[in-house]
């Protein structure tokens, strides 16, 4: 049947990125250099933020954002149970408690009215996720956070290039975090970035990503940024005695969450091509929509008319008469035909670790659970051809019908 494998996702790397990475390699400067700075400035500008802090992953960025906001043990953070697990795990990293609220079945993001109801005196932040890159309700969460005088953290790891009412993902709330794993809209292999207009928060994140080195404004901070290269080529001393003093001063418990120059160079190329990448993704989403619009057993993603999507993934839902087992059989059948498919996302509160630690049970967040039992991600990448989409859709319809007939 199929002549070639159609993967779930595939990075889009051109000679521009390869040349930039080669330039970084030849420069001899492999960490803390000009590529990082360029990547930070171009991405921050793109999402209309004053500061960007590149780091080793989206997870690391979210961890730093919560630390920089001073969230810790005894605090509660409101978030969604329908997401990639990192958005909730980072709340546990800082010793706080994730408080889940159920989703709205259209956008698949948190139901804003339930967010408001979940706020208690212990609530110290709202960590909102643009699930599957859908920015719907981001402005509503922002208003709720402002009303209660708590910060909103935007986990926009799946949403680079999308916007709501003309505002780009990454521009909502106090701080936003992007991720650049290979399946995201742009990739650095591994990587992430914190974006904010708050200079103090950005400075704390710069310190946290580099072993807690002093902020530029602090008395021991003698260099222009906390992680400026006192180690020029990777060895100490090249920038002189005073800089070395600052390099070896650690003001807070920090981490090594830095991004290398090779990763940043890849990011510089990818962000330069972002418009082209978003256009390619919109084209593929359009092909799927046209092919599947009339399939009554499938539900397509619902998009707010005021939103522009950059399409992280293309996730369909089987209609409500289908069970989880039937959905799982459709996924397995697609895979047997060399078509990538996945059950994005199993609910976070029902993951073994969360059940055990917090005592969650099936039924706690019924909408997220019902959606999660019937979602199905299909292959989605920039270079997908019309023939690829045709083949996926024909096979998918066949497999879905077969489950229907066998019932």
Ligand X SMILES: *Cc1c(COP(=O)(O)O)cnc(C)c1O
Per CB under 6 A, the list member of 135, 192, 214, 267 interacting with ligand X is 192
Q: Interface with ligand X includes 158 (CB under 6 A)? A: yes
Q: Interface with ligand X includes 227 (CB under 6 A)? A: no
Q: Interface with ligand X includes 87 (CB under 6 A)? A: yes
User: Which residue in 114, 124, 184, 199 is the catalytic one?
Assistant: 184
Q: Interface with ligand X includes 379 (CB under 6 A)? A: no
Q: Interface with ligand X includes 88 (CB under 6 A)? A: no
Shortest gap between Cβ of 10 and ligand X (angstroms)? 16
Only segment of 47-55, 57-65, 313-321, 368-376 that touches ligand X (CB under 6 A) = 57-65
Asked if the peptide bond before residue 59 counts as cis, ω within 30 degrees of 0, the response is no
184 is catalytic: yes
- DSSP string of 193-247? EEEES-HHHHHHHHHHHBTTPPPTTSTT--SSSTT--SSSSSSTTTT-HHHHHHH
Q: Interface with ligand X includes 260 (CB under 6 A)? A: no
Identify the burial level of 49 via C-beta atoms within 10 angstroms of its C-beta, where 0-12 means exposed, 13-18 middle and 19 or more buried: buried
Nearer to ligand X among residue 152 and residue 393 (C-beta): 152
Between 98 and 137, how does the x/- string for binding to ligand X read (CB under 6 A)?
-------------------------------x--------
Place of tokens 């990587």: 191
Q: Interface with ligand X includes 179 (CB under 6 A)? A: yes
Q: Name the closest residue to ligand X (Cβ).
A: 58
Helix, strand, coil distribution of the chain in percent, nearest 5: 40, 15, 45
DSSP structural state of residue 31: B
Q: Interface with ligand X includes 154 (CB under 6 A)? A: no
Helices 58-68, 86-93: crossing angle, 10 deg rounding: 40
What does each C-alpha distance from 14 to 39, 70, 73, 268, 272 come to in angstroms?
17, 41, 45, 12, 11
Nearer to ligand X among residue 87 and residue 382 (C-beta): 87
Q: Interface with ligand X includes 82 (CB under 6 A)? A: no
Instruction: Enumerate residues 6+ apart whose C-beta is below 8 A from 236.
Output: 230, 244, 247, 248
Q: Which residues make up the interface to ligand X (CB under 6 A)?
A: 57-59, 83-84, 86-87, 129, 155, 157-158, 179, 181, 192
List residues with catalytic annotation: 184
């Amino acid at each position: 049947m199929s002549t070639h494998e159609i993967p779930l996702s595939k990075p889009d790397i051109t000679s521009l990125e390869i040349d930039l990475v080669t330039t970084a390699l030849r420069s001899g400067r492999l960490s803390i250099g000009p590529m990082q700075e360029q990547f930070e400035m171009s991405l921050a500008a793109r999402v209309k933020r004053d500061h960007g802090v590149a780091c080793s992953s989206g997870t690391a960025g979210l961890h730093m954002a919560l630390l920089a906001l001073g969230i810790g043990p005894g605090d509660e953070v409101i978030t969604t149970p329908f997401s990639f697990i990192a958005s909730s795990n980072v709340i546990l990293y800082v010793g706080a408690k994730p408080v889940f609220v159920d989703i709205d079945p259209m956008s698949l993001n948190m139901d804003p009215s339930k967010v408001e109801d979940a706020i208690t005196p212990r609530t110290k932040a709202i960590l909102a996720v643009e699930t599957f890159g859908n920015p719907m309700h981001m402005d509503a969460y922002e208003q709720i956070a402002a009303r209660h005088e708590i910060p909103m953290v935007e986990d926009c790891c799946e949403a680079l290039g999308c916007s709501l009412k003309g505002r780009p993902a990454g521009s909502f709330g106090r701080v936003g975090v992007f991720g650049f794993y290979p399946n995201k809209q742009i990739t650095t292999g591994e990587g992430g970035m914190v974006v904010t207009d708050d200079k103090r928060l950005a400075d704390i994140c710069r310190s946290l990503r580099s072993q807690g080195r002093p902020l530029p404004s602090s008395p021991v901070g003698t260099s222009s940024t906390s992680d400026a290269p006192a180690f020029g080529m990777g060895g100490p001393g090249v920038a002189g005695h005073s800089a070395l003093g600052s390099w070896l001063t650690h003001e807070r418990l920090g981490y090594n969450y830095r991004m290398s120059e090779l990763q940043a160079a890849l990011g510089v190329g990818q962000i330069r091509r972002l418009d082209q990448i978003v256009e390619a993704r919109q084209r593929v989403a359009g092909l799927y929509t046209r092919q599947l619009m009339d399939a009554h057993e499938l539900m397509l993603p619902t998009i707010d008319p005021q939103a522009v999507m950059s399409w992280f993934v293309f996730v369909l839902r089987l209609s409500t008469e289908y069970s989880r087992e039937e959905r799982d059989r459709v996924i397995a059948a697609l895979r047997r035909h060399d078509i990538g498919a996945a059950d994005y996302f199993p609910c976070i509160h029902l993951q073994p670790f969360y059940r055990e630690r917090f005592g969650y049970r099936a039924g706690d967040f019924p909408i997220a659970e019902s959606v999660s039992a019937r979602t199905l991600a299909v292959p989605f990448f920039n270079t997908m051809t019309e023939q690829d989409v045709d083949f996926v859709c024909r096979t998918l319809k066949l497999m879905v019908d077969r489950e229907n007939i066998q019932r």
